[in-house]
Chain A
C-alpha cells in the first residue's frame, strides 16, 4: 500500500529533483553549535469550495498552496524563513536566513535519515476533492436549498457551502527524522435567513471531519443541516431579550464545549505557561475545577476535524489530561516549549501553513461524562438560562477572563424550559468557572466538526465537546435588567 511518505516524495521531491543529499546540504547551512532544534516543513494543499446562494451555484473556487518553511531554534530564540518555491536554492537561502538567529558559526550536519510513517493513521489518504463528482457536490447544495425552503415558508435566503482540502506534509528535523502525513478535511455549512412580519433572523448549521465528501450524502446531511438551521432561525424569531446579570446557566452538550476551549484550553498552552503570562501559570496540582471533572485534549480520535496522526513537528498526537478530578494536571506542548520546560512534546505543535511558525495548539478538547441525566440537571434549576448553541468565543489569557456568545438559549423557570432568549454573551473567569460546575451530565457529545481556532493570526481546525453542565453563577450579557 502507498504510504504517506510516498505521497510526500511524489509531491515534493519528484517534481523538483530534490534528494536526501540536498537536504544534507540544507541542514549543513542551517545548524550551528547553538541549535537546539531545526526543521523543514514541506506542505502542499489543494482546496476546492462550492457555494450556493439564491438557489443557484454562485461560486466555485480551486486553489493550490505549496511551499516550505525552514526553522532554526536556539533555546528560546527562533529564526524562520519560508518560500513558495520548493527548490534547492530557495531552501538554502531560507536556511541561511533562519540560521541568522544564532551568532555561532555553522556547525553540524545530518546525514542519516529515518523515514517515519504515522504509527496509527487516524484518517484515509484518498483525495476528498475527487471523492464525489462535481454534479453530486452541486446536487447536495441544491438539496440543502430545497429542503430548507420546504421546511418553512419564512425562509428568505439559503446559503450553502461545501469545502474539501487535501494536504500532504513532510517534516524533516535535525535528528534526521522524516515524517509525512496525508490529511483530508471536508466541511459543509448552511446559513439561512428567515423573515416573518418584517422581523428577520438567521442561523447556521453544518459539519465535517477528516474523511471523504460522500459522508454528507450517505448520512443524509443535507436534510439534517437544512432542518437544523431553519429550526434555530425560527426559534430566534420568537426570542425575547436575554436577562442581564449573574445567574445559573445550564450549558447543553456538544458544541457548548467551546467553554472549555476558551476558559481552560488556551490558558494551558505551553508557550503562555513557559513565559508565565497565563492565568494558569504555575498552578499544576491546584484545584481549578469541581471534583469529578476531567478535561482532556485528544488528538487521536479517528476522523475528527481536530485530530492529527502526527502534529506539524512530526510528533505523534496523544490524549493529554488537562484536568483530572478537578486538579490541574498538565499543559499542551510543542517541541520548543517542552524542551525549555524540561518535558516532552504532547503532539500539539501546529501551524496554519508552511509560512507560519508552529505553536502549542489544541486538537479536540472535551470534558468526560458525569452521572446526571440532562433532564435532571434542567429540573434542578429554579431560575436561570439553558444555552445550547454558541457562535464562538474569545479569552484574555493573562487576566483569565473569557466570553462566549450564545446563539440559542432558553429561560429556565422552576425547573422547566421557557421562552427562547436572544443572543447574549456569557462572561467568566477561566481559572474558577469550573469550580462552580455543580452537575455534569452523562451525555458527552463532540461537536459536528466546524470549529476554527485563531491564535496569533493563525487559524487551525479544532474540535470541542462536553456533557450537559450546570454552572452556578455566570454573567449573562443580555439587555433585560428587571
Chain B
C-alpha cells in the first residue's frame, strides 16, 4: 500500500518543527515568517512490450522558509530536516533578507484573511497497491492497447503511479494548516505503423481515489484508438478556417486566461487582458466558475499558499471578467484584496452551451479539429498565438482525414471573442474542467 506511514505522528512532528522554526526566526529578529513542509512517498511502475521496464520508489521531503525583516524578505529551502540543517536554512534566509530591498507590498497575507474553516475535501485515499499488482495492471493496459489493432506495432509502454503526501503551511500570524492528499494515475502510449507513417499517441486516467480510475481495458483501448486514427496524417494547404479544440486542448485556452488575469501579469502590465476586470472578453454565453471545494478534486483546497481562505466565485459571467487570481503581494500592488490564489487557480469549470461533440462538429461544418498542440508560440503580452497542431480535417461535420505538420495562429483576444460554442463533453480529469471549444476562425499554415 502506498501510504505515508504514521502520518499522524509525522503531522505532530511537523507541527513541532514548524513552531520551532518560526520561534527561531523571531529570535533572529525576523518580524514575520512563513514556511511549508512537505513529505511524500510513491511508487511508479512502467512496463513495455509485455515486460517490466522500470520500478521506481519515491520518497521526497522539503521545507521552504520565508522570513521578513519589516518589508525585506529572504527565502531558503532544504530537503534535510536535521536540526543543524534547519538552523543553516534559517540563517541562509536571514542572510538573503539583508540584501533584498524594502518593498512596502511585502509581507504575510493579512491576518484577518486566514482560513478559519476547513471543510472536508476528502483528498486522501491511499491505494492498496504493491509492485506486483501495479505491474499486472500496467501489463493488462498495454496488452489491451497492443491487441486492439494489427497496426499497433510498438509501444512506449504503460505505467501505474501512486503517490501519497502531506504538507503543512504555517506562519507567524499563528495560522497552521495540514493537508493530506493522494494522487494515482494509469497511462498508456503506443506506436502504430502503416507504410511510411509512424504515429504515437496516449491516454491516461488520474484521480485522488483509486476506484475512480478508468479501467486498464478502457485506458488501453482509448490509447490504441487515438494512435491508430492518426496514421497517414497529412498537412493542409494554408487557409483560414474554424478550429475545434477538443477538451484536453481547450483546457490550455483556459490556462492562458488564468495567466493573463493573474496578479503578476496585471501589475507588470504584461497581459493581453490588462485591466480587463468588468470588461467583455468573451461572448455573453461564456460562464467560468472557480470552485475550490469540490470533494476529491485535483485542484481542491480550503486555503492557499499564504493561508488565505479560498472562495467559490465567478471568474467570467456572461462573458465579462469578474475577478483576477491574486495573492497578497499582487493584490496590494493593485490596491485589491487577495482572492486566495497564491497557489494559482483551484478548480475551474467552464459551462457548456448545451451541445454534444457531434453537434459541435456539425456546427463547425468545415474546419480543423485539434487534438494535440506542440511548441510554446504564445505571447502573453500581446495574445499572439502560433502553435504546431495535430488533428483532423472536417468537412460537412464529418472527419475526412488526420492532419499533421500545420500551425494554427491567431490572437487570444480574438479567439476568446470568437468562441462559438462549448461542448458538454467535459474532461473531468484535471483541475480545469471544460468541454470542447469551437472558435470561429484561425489561420492554418501548411504546405
Chain A interfacial positions (CB closer than 8 Å to B): 50, 53, 56-67, 76-85, 94, 97-98, 100-101, 134-135, 138, 156-157, 193, 195, 200-202, 242, 244-246, 275-277, 279, 355, 357, 391-399, 401-405, 422-425, 427-429, 475-481
Distance to closest chain A CB from B157 (angstroms): 9
Q: Chain A interface: which of B14-22, B301-309, B399-407, B420-428?
A: B399-407
Say which residue of A63, A423, A481 sits within 8 Å of B386 (CB atoms): A423
Question: Are B79 and A425 in touch, CB under 8 angstroms?
Answer: no
Question: Are A80 and B377 in touch, CB under 8 angstroms?
Answer: no
Question: Are B101 and A277 in touch, CB under 8 angstroms?
Answer: no
**What residues of A have a CB within 8 angstroms of the CB of B445 in the complex?**
244-246, 427, 475-478
> Given A156-B269, A477-B445, does the pair A63, B407 have CB atoms closer than 8 Å?
no
Complex Cα distance, B386 from A391, in Å, reads: 12
- What are 23 contact pairs spanning A and B, CB under 8 A? A56-B102, A57-B100, A60-B75, A62-B89, A82-B58, A84-B80, A98-B57, A101-B55, A201-B382, A246-B447, A275-B154, A275-B156, A357-B56, A391-B377, A399-B404, A402-B388, A424-B377, A425-B407, A427-B406, A428-B405, A477-B445, A478-B443, A479-B409
Distance to closest chain B CB from A200 (angstroms): 5
Complex Cα distance, B397 from A74, in Å, reads: 51
Question: Are A193 and B269 in touch, CB under 8 angstroms?
Answer: yes
**What residues of A have a CB within 8 angstroms of the CB of B131 in the complex?**
100
**What residues of A have a CB within 8 angstroms of the CB of B85 in the complex?**
64
Question: Are B269 and A423 in touch, CB under 8 angstroms?
Answer: no
> Given A195-B269, A200-B382, A394-B388, does the pair A424, B409 have CB atoms closer than 8 Å?
yes
**What residues of B have a CB within 8 angstroms of the CB of A202 in the complex?**
270, 379, 381
**What residues of A have a CB within 8 angstroms of the CB of B89 in the complex?**
62, 64
Question: Are B379 and A423 in touch, CB under 8 angstroms?
Answer: yes
Distance to closest chain A CB from B225 (angstroms): 16
Question: Is the CB of B199 closer than 8 A to any CB of chain A?
Answer: yes
> Given A64-B89, A245-B238, A427-B405, does the pair A84, B79 have CB atoms closer than 8 Å?
yes
Query: In chain B between 149 and 204, which residues have their CB closer than 8 angstroms to a CB of chain A?
Result: 154, 156, 191, 198-200
> Given A61-B76, A393-B375, does the pair A157, B269 have CB atoms closer than 8 Å?
yes
10 shortest interchain CB distances as A-B pairs: A477-B407, A403-B375, A56-B101, A403-B388, A398-B200, A244-B445, A425-B377, A60-B96, A405-B377, A81-B57
Q: In chain A, what residue has the closest Cβ to B75?
A: A61
Complex Cα distance, B387 from A478, in Å, reads: 10
Say which residue of B93, B99, B240 sits within 8 Å of A57 (CB atoms): B99
**What residues of A have a CB within 8 angstroms of the CB of B93 in the complex?**
62
**Using an 8 Å CB-CB cutoff, how does the interface string of B7-18 with A read, 1 for contact, 0 for none?**
000000000000
Please tell me the size bucket of the interface on B: 35 or more
Complex Cα distance, B97 from A138, in Å, reads: 13
Q: In chain A, what residue has the closest Cβ to B97?
A: A60
Number of A-B contacts (CB under 8 A): 241
Say which residue of A57, A475, A478 sits within 8 Å of B406 (CB atoms): A475
**What residues of B have a CB within 8 angstroms of the CB of A393 in the complex?**
375-376
Say which residue of A66, A195, A276, A394 sits within 8 Å of B154 (CB atoms): A276
Question: Are A422 and B388 in touch, CB under 8 angstroms?
Answer: no
Distance to closest chain A CB from B10 (angstroms): 15
Complex Cα distance, B208 from A329, in Å, reads: 47
Question: Is the CB of B284 closer than 8 A to any CB of chain A?
Answer: no
Q: In chain A, what residue has the closest Cβ to B407?
A: A477
Say which residue of B53, B60, B98, B374 sits within 8 Å of A396 (CB atoms): B374
**What residues of A have a CB within 8 angstroms of the CB of B154 in the complex?**
275-277
Q: Which of A403, A422, A423, A480 has the most CB of B within 10 A?
A: A403
**What residues of A have a CB within 8 angstroms of the CB of B404 in the complex?**
399, 401
Question: Is the CB of B408 closer than 8 A to any CB of chain A?
Answer: yes
**What residues of A have a CB within 8 angstroms of the CB of B239 in the complex?**
481
Q: In chain B, what residue has the closest Cβ to A429?
A: B405
Complex Cα distance, B182 from A262, in Å, reads: 35
Complex Cα distance, B75 from A24, in Å, reads: 39
> Given A78-B54, A101-B52, does the pair A399, B388 have CB atoms closer than 8 Å?
no
> Given A279-B198, A394-B374, does the pair A77, B406 have CB atoms closer than 8 Å?
no
Q: Which of B73, B102, B443, B447 has the most CB of A within 10 A?
A: B443
Q: In chain B, what residue has the closest Cβ to A245?
A: B238
Question: Is the CB of B92 closer than 8 A to any CB of chain A?
Answer: yes
Question: Is the CB of B103 closer than 8 A to any CB of chain A?
Answer: yes
**What residues of B have a CB within 8 angstroms of the CB of A67 in the complex?**
79
Question: Are A244 and B238 in touch, CB under 8 angstroms?
Answer: yes
Distance to closest chain A CB from B233 (angstroms): 8
Question: Is the CB of B74 closer than 8 A to any CB of chain A?
Answer: yes
Query: In chain B between 360 and 377, which residues have their CB closer than 8 angstroms to a CB of chain A?
Result: 374-377
Complex Cα distance, B61 from A399, in Å, reads: 38
Complex Cα distance, B374 from A83, in Å, reads: 34
Question: Are A64 and B52 in touch, CB under 8 angstroms?
Answer: no
Question: Are B80 and A193 in touch, CB under 8 angstroms?
Answer: no
Distance to closest chain B CB from A63 (angstroms): 4
Q: In chain A, what residue has the closest Cβ to B66?
A: A61
Complex Cα distance, B66 from A194, in Å, reads: 32
**What residues of A have a CB within 8 angstroms of the CB of B251 in the complex?**
none
Say which residue of B51, B103, B230, B377 sits within 8 Å of A58 (CB atoms): B103
Q: Which of A82, A275, A391, A402 has the most CB of B within 10 A?
A: A275
